[in-house]
Structure 1
């Protein structure tokens, strides 16, 4: 279990302009990512305020292990670094904290800062495998109620973390446009032929990405008590969905074309070390719910994270008029029925070998309260009603030119607020 240390000191200040009090990236955060500039190849960086620090360029200022850690990102992904386990990344973060809070180090480090808006940010890992879970119980109830009003949750839901292996080829970094998918759609009448064409019910899904750090050998399960040692960190995930295509294809094996066209991920990996002050108890299960089976039982309560998540939208008309993005929903990451550690333990309990850079999606996270819905299909009650935007526009599902912006942050008295940045993308026909 990661504990707080000097890197979480709320009174610590950085010489980097604008870093102190930054909404997402103060010196107490220091998330890792992959960036590129001009003709230079992709390499590792750290977000600090409105800048990106090239960690591969300052290895002479680092100690032996942190220097090795930084060099492991020269390959253009974070896989090599986190394959070493969390120790290398932890030591790198601590040394970067010291450099960025020491005015005497400014002359050596400052030339290697790049304005964040001048660099390209990339998917932080080479992703070999992607698994989408279904941990948002309020979302599961809402969706189940649309199809099975009398029995929205299937009997296995509260016993087993539900998930399916997706695809890794269509994962893209925040900012990459999403092409509206085409596919078969449910026949207009019973016994009719299915239609085919562009999806008319493109939706977003508010999720979190859990990145696998050190993997495990085939046939060697990861105990839930050790699972967090195998987590590199978290990002924001928008696992886009084509609801009309999904309604026709999902039986008997679940969604296919409705999900494989694009998933957007925020580019910064907020590490387990940075999240240490924001650990919180996993919400108590309602009376009557079963206890987790022994292989899924935690040995401590604070296995969840106090992170707030938001979804906003801008339309072409809003951007043309200079209107601010409109918030559609807001809710907590604690809407997960299962914790990140439980997902790792369950995924590997049958012997599956997780690999560094594997991505686990939490599934859509809905708060359970009005205004906390994690998707449009919930907000519109299956497309039965419209959402009214402040400028008078209405939406049931996303139209071409609409941009969805997801953001997330963690706050707690006595500690500096940290954020995960943004995950945004625009729908194109």
Structure 2
């Protein structure tokens, strides 16, 4: 039997693994021979056989589609609790006993690791489900799946309270009502961490022809939910997610611009918030990391009067600040003084920047936090600094 399996595997360890897993439910040598004679040789044909097996359970198809869409498209492996919440958002159905339900619904296309996180069986399976010529109800287009998940996460963040007990009482608002499936959205916070950290990554990769998504981004940014999101990210002690989200939204707007009229109000709301997210994370880094809930009443009135964060939230603050310069943000995010050193070179990458001195010293900083990471001594004047594409 081992020789038969190896001969048919064409050297694919994954194919052998999948066949051996199928053999766990086969108890006679004759049944093994019959199964082996029927199983396809190539991985894609084997995946198609798995998909066809799932599609035979018509009542399970919506669940299978939802699970596979999230597992394949997610930016990191989801936990069982996160997946349960995600399926609830899609179908308004609550999965029970996910450790047994997920393998039963999706077969061998997914597996659960020891940390209770769900993975696609292999990268080739991910590519198979995203293939444009896949003739299956379970297949999906990459950009559309990112659009769907990005939209779901935005509605989720707008509807589910994030650390509501820490909000000032005058900022606690009733949950907004959304159409259809979002009306019955549960207050399950299992997906909050993933939604806060990765919603903008899905927007970055979404379809640009979807008009509804821009409105949902605008709705999220106009309400108090955006402050709750900033508070949550600051509470994780890493403001780079705020900066990264601003950059992702900027890229989305740049590509989306040709599909919307120049007077579109949602476009301008998002455009204004892109600037504010990057500036607030840089200007108020120390305050946000020390007191994340300062974003509600302390930071907005300390911003210049023209930015959208100031216009939207200063009125709800009990703090009045006089003497602020008129207008919007200036060009200076931060200032670093080197009183006794002469700077001779500056270079930057995606995440870091470096400063070189005439004494031969090089200082490396984290560009998100403006934090000194390391001092590199050299033995001669620094003339130029350059980073590779991967910040090396």
Give the TM-score taking structure 1 as reference length: 0.24
- Highest relative contact order (Cα 8 Å, sep 6+), 1 or 2? 1
Larger Rg: 2
Structure with the bigger percentage of helix: 2
Structure with the bigger percentage of strand: 1
Give the TM-score taking structure 2 as reference length: 0.26
